[in-house]
Structure 1
Amino acid sequence: MTLRYPLAPTQTGNHLSMSDVSGELVYRRGKEVGKAVYQNRALSKDGISERLFAFLFSGLVYPQIWEDPDVDMEAMQLGAGHRVVTIASGGCNILAYLTRSPARIDAVDLNAAHIALNRMKLEAVRHLPSQGDLFRFFGAAGTSHNSDAYDRFIAPHLDAVSRHYWERRNWRGRRRISVFDRNFYQTGLLGLFIAMGHRVGKLFGVDPAGIMKAENIGEQRRFFNEELAPVFDKKLLRWATSRKASLFGLGIPPAQYDSLITSGDGSMASVLMARLEKLACDFPLKNNYFAWQAFARRYPQPGEAALPAYLEQRNYKTIRDNIDRVAIHHANLIKFLAAKDAGTVDRFVLLDAQDWMTDDLLNDLWTEITRTASTGARVIFRTAAEPSLLPGRLSNSLLDQWTYESEASREYSARDRSAIYGGFHLYVKRAA
């Protein structure tokens, strides 16, 4: 769950000014994100919460995307020739979409760390010598020479802003890129949140990684019921998750927390337990790399279980052949769409960004989506709660130009292996 929707005014296109390199924008903690998040007075309780979230969100949040690209591609009926606009996030979705050979993918994001990650992924696909090298860089843990591979094969082709991000040193003197020598997926806000979940489990005598010993769904269910579910009844956990800041590590801003809690019995602990139950019990571990990241803290090895599409050997050539069809934009999505000609986008991927938008922003966004959408265009997005948030909030003049595929949306939601969303939603543009 994320705040990845770029609203604040930033540079557009594939190039940022050199002021980014010196830190004018990239390291200006929370300022641009804050323009998109702030809805309350600075010194109010909610306002303080929003500003803390914006500060935390200014760095890397998602080392991997937490939406299921396989479901995305099926729902979009993505194919050759399609023009796609998507929120970038961790970039796994973008590379997965290339397996369907769309004509173009424009990936937009406000978070500068995500922009740097996406640009590095593109250059890694282009310039690492082989699929095995790509897997070792983005799929394996504990590959100590990945930073050397970055220096030799990737860095010479990166833009200055992205190089500055990955080569910046922390207080220990380590460059950021060195996280790929260890386990990149244990970094970022999401990685720290998952690590905290493991620590909480162990505090109550449960090792969440124990589920990886299960050999079938029945054993997964048994582990969840006997080991994981009781943790959510602990008073300390229920108290902690009743604080909005407790979910900032999932990229959930305060407004989205309010939406998420409506999908349960009024307690966040019950909502989180239901989402974890789906992740743990609804899909065989061999088919769900999201569960591997949540419980094993890594991806499986090739042949051990399913991998993200961009790390599968069978997709490597197609993705590499299509990599030049992607453009990464550090931009305001509404303004980005406003600069496009009418009818020039076939597929839109909004992730869960609309959850925290005001009605005015929703209508501004869908005004541009509707204008730029081709006939039959498809829009997909996710929500924290189960229902679509558009009815009653989007003007009828806009909503009437779209068909909501309710039955298909329910089916796709049930099949989303990431398991953390209440609803998956598909809208199709009607003929004029």
Structure 2
Amino acid sequence: MSEFIFDSGISRIFLGGSVTMVALMMVSSRINRAVMSVLVFAWACFIKPILGKAGSDKTLGQSQQQHALELFYGNQAHIYDSTRKLLLKGREECLQLAVSHLPQTKKGLVWVDIGGGTGKNIEMMNEILPLEKHFAAVYLVDLSSSLCAVARQRFAGKSWAKNVVVLEADACDFSIDHATADLITFSYSLLMIPTFNSVIDHALALLEKSAGVIACVDFGIQSLDTCVGRINTVGGLVNRNMPWFLRNFWRIWFEADKVFLDLARRNYLEYKFGTLKSFNTYNNMLGRIPYYVWVGCDKDRSRSLLHRINCLATESPYLAPSDETQRIEYNIPVSKGHEAVLSNIRKNLPFPSIYYQKNPWRVYFNEINPLYHQFRNQYIYAFTWEDPREDHEMLKFSSKDTVLAITSAGDNILAYACLPDPPSKIHAVDLNPCQNHLLELKLASFKSLSQDQIWKIFGEGKIQNFRQLLINQLSSEMSSNAFQYWMDKGEKALSPKGRGLYDTGSTRWALRLARAVFTFFGINSYIDELCSCTNLRDQIRVWETKVKPTLFNPFVATLLVGNPLFLWKALGVPANQAELIGDSVLKYVVDTLDPVVHRSLISTDNYFYYLCLKGKYARNNCPDYLTEKGFRNLTTKRADGTAPIDNIRLHTDTLNDVFSRLNQKSITIAIIMDHMDWFDPKKDDAKNEILAVKECLVPGGRVMLRSAAQYPWYIKTFEACGFKCKPHGIRHAGESIDRINMYASAWVCTKQDDPKAPKAQRRMSSLKI
């Protein structure tokens, strides 16, 4: 028989009954312990702080802060880890993000975990980066005797903990047996330290200057107003502007436990250190508690790189001054990034976060530029509607070229870069920051992922555990701005359970509506057949008898392609470009698609339409950069020690602004897609842009463009400004000019030496600091 004795809510079992009964009682015991842990946690965190303060005699022999910590943790240290799993989110991600930014080749690292408590962080780190192999010393610093006791018990007898030292000390003035630390972390500890300024100053003095990393994960409330004047230092604004109610509710709630979610701690971190990466999010399991993960470095780390990065970004040939704080006079344009750096130095602020990135791909941009608001934090195009094969046929790219092209989804940029003899440098320009975020994700993938992983993301549009890949492998290759964007959007976009990458962007609505039409009319099987035809005869038959009658029936044609709202919102066709299409949008679309079906097999030689119809690429039908050969071409280093992927620069601005800041006569080819169709013929915008691009082009430099018109009106403007213009292809009914055939014409405009042509004004800059 079984006998049960209950003492203080914990079941003690005296065996004498069945094994089944014992098992049931063991489960009951675990449940009781869990319930008791929750009750102790609730008492310590929500009830005890309200009941009153301890007597002053209890503070004798202890510092006031240490006494406060013991009051809070003394009776819950033993259940701390079991009750914090759901509350303290982001700890492992913070460690992973910090590790991804440590020098990968350095051995014998020194790590200081300030406010490390029970040592759970150190145990987690051993799973991420084995301590025995990579760390010469690990220091856990905490002022709570109870938590330190739990930590020592955790480490006892662990082989991986032989170099771990538990320091029961004040975080403001502790010392270690090493001159500097390679890694310093705060894990939900900074918000409980009243003298946080002193602690952060101490961490700054301790951190290794050239490659050290400091990281913090913590609760915190913030709004855009709190970073006015230092927007460029914080590494991005995604989810930073938290709702008023959440900011105030959680601040008041946590203050009952002497936990302060105020702005000062994070602001001071971002002032004393340069921001490598950060992201802002919520603990949705417990009422949307706001928290953040932030990773930084010594703010002077990039000072020696200032001249190199600026020259790479702008191609300006000036010599940087030896003292950045002296007066500088420029008679040529300089980059906005350089101007921002000089301003930050004057204010004793860190460099713009973008200057601490590992790769100089992303040229500095002002994240609060009002021109960006129109895009609503999303890209329009998830893939590029330009045929790079035809681009190469027109322009014959070589390593003698410096190319400027509109980014779009970046497919064209990568296509040029993976040619056998790629351009020496490629400038990708887009006013939409998110289009450059997408290209930056692609560039980072080629730096850090395998070809198979790249295929899953950009070939199939889906991959398992994207968030983990982003934090552990991709993050160190990206700017903080792009990293934040993909932390917010990536998991949903790329999850195997979701629709996939190519169902994102504004143009996804066009593809969704097309699929809805196919489903409604019951022709999905014919769409699959169209995408698997092995000869043109069968492809034309399926198109003419099954697909075309459905796609262009009067109801669908009137509701969709003939609707101006659909053209802009779903296809990205603005009003001025729609005017160039002509009187019948339906005829334009028929003239687009009919010749394509007769020209090339969708199944093997037209990945553009295959992607639209299938939602993904095929291994034998995809952009060149997704092939094994393309992967090698992009990543293989050449004689100068760089790979083609290293020679790409991303500008987030208008074309005119980029033209004004690039060195005069530095571009051999400018590819502006259908961009000029968007201009109003009654205004001077087109002429101003033509003059601006002309100033950047070398003698004989070329502009390549496409248009919805056979003979666009602005070709005459090009000619008046000193260009010789020649059509590469004019589309006529029943004919195609490339595999997409989306445009009615493609042109190459070549700069001529014409002393009578009007000149664009050069921007002069005089900076005083």
Q: TM-score range by the shorter chain?
A: 0.7 to 0.9
> Larger Rg: 1 or 2?
2
Deviation at 1:389, TM superposition (A): 3.3
Verify: 1:133 aligned to 2:457, yes or no.
no
Alignment match, 1:367: 691
Equivalent residue of 1:364, what SS? Answer: helix
Runs of 4 or more, structure 1, over 6 Å off, are 23-28
Match of residue 511 from structure 2 = 194
Cα 1:176–1:290 shift into 2, 3 Å = closer
Deviation at 1:140, TM superposition (A): 2.2
Q: Is the 8 A contact 1:232 1:269 kept in 2?
A: no
Corresponding residue SS for 1:85: strand
Is 1:246 the equivalent of 2:569?
no
Which structure has the highest strand share of the two? Answer: 2
Gaps of at least 5 residues in structure 2 are 1-230, 242-364, 636-642, 755-769
CA distance in 1, matches of 2:612, 2:516: 13
Q: Is the 8 A contact 2:404 2:427 kept in 1?
A: yes
Contact 2:232 2:366 in 1 (8 A): no
What is the identity, as a one-letter code, of the residue corresponding to 1:67? E
For 1:91, the aligned partner's letter is: G
Equivalent-residue separation in structure 2 for 1:103 and 1:213 (angstroms): 38
Residues 211 and 220 in structure 1, CA contact (< 8 A), matched pair in contact too: yes
| CA distance in 1: counterparts of 2:457 and 2:380, whole angstroms | 19
Superposed CA deviations along residues 284-332 of structure 1, whole A, max 9, x for unmatched, are 221111121122221012xxx2320111111222212211100101112
1:268 aligns with 2:585: yes
Amino acid at match of 1:89: S
Q: Is 1:289 matched with 2:607? A: yes
Q: Kindly indicate whether residue 711 of structure 2 is the aligned counterpart of residue 390 of structure 1.
A: no
Report the CA distance between 1:117 and its aligned residue.
0.7
User: Which of the pair has the greater relative contact order for Cα pairs under 8 Å at 6+ separation?
Assistant: 1
Cα deviation for residue 103 of structure 1 reads 1.2
* Pairwise CA RMSD: 2.8
Q: How far 1:273 sits from its partner (Å)?
A: 2.3
- Of the structure 1 ranges 181-190 and 131-140, higher mean CA displacement relative to structure 2 is found in 181-190
1:91 aligns with one of 370, 389, 410 = 410
Cα displacement (A) at 1:238: 2.9
The answer as to whether partners of 2:707 and 2:745 remain within 8 angstroms in 1 is: yes
* Count of matched residue pairs: 381
Q: Which runs of 5+ in 1 are unaligned?
A: 1-14, 35-53
Q: Provide TM-score, normalisation by structure 1.
A: 0.80
Residues 494 and 500 in structure 2, CA contact (< 8 A), matched pair in contact too: no
Letter matched to residue 515 of structure 2: H
Contact 2:381 2:507 in 1 (8 A): yes
Q: Aligned partners of 1:116, 1:17: CA distance in 2, in Å?
A: 18
% identity of equivalent residues = 20
Partners of 2:429 and 2:651 within 8 A in 1: yes
In structure 2, C-alpha distance between the alignment counterparts of 1:16 and 1:202, rounded to whole Å: 48
Matches within 5 A, 1:174-193: 178=495, 183-193=500-510
> Are 1:316 and 2:631 matched, yes or no?
yes
Deviation (angstroms), 1:251:
1.2
Specify which structure has the higher proportion of helix.
Answer: 1
Change beyond 3 A, Cα 1:363–1:219: same
Shift of 1:223: 1.4
* TM-score, length of structure 2 as denominator length: 0.46
Residue 409 in structure 1 maps to residue 729 in structure 2: yes
Pairing partner for 2:656 from 334, 357, 360? 334
Q: 2:479 aligned with 1:159, yes or no?
A: yes
Please show how residues 109-148 of structure 1 align to structure 2 within 5 Å. 109-128=430-449, 130-148=450-468
Over 3 Å counting, the alpha-carbon distance change for 1:396 and 1:27 in structure 2 is closer
Change over 3 Å in CA distance of 1:356–1:26 after alignment to 2 = same
Write out aligned runs for 1:209-224 (5 A): 209-224=528-543
Residue 107 (str. 1) matches residue 435 (str. 2): no
* Cα distance change of structure 1 residues 404 and 119 upon mapping to structure 2, 3 Å threshold: same
Shift of 1:113: 1.3
Q: How far has the Cα of 1:149 moved from its partner?
A: 2.4
What is the CA–CA distance in structure 2 between the aligned matches of 1:354 and 1:372, rounded to whole Å? 17
Distance 1:282 1:33, change over 3 A: farther
Equivalent AA in structure 2 for residue 253 of structure 1: P
Looking at structure 1, the residues matched to 748 and 546 of structure 2 have their Cα atoms a distance apart, in angstroms, of: 36
Spell out, residue by residue over 1:221-278, the C-alpha distance to the aligned partner (whole angstroms, 9 max, x if none).
Answer: 1111112222355332232133211122111122222222x1xxx3322222222223
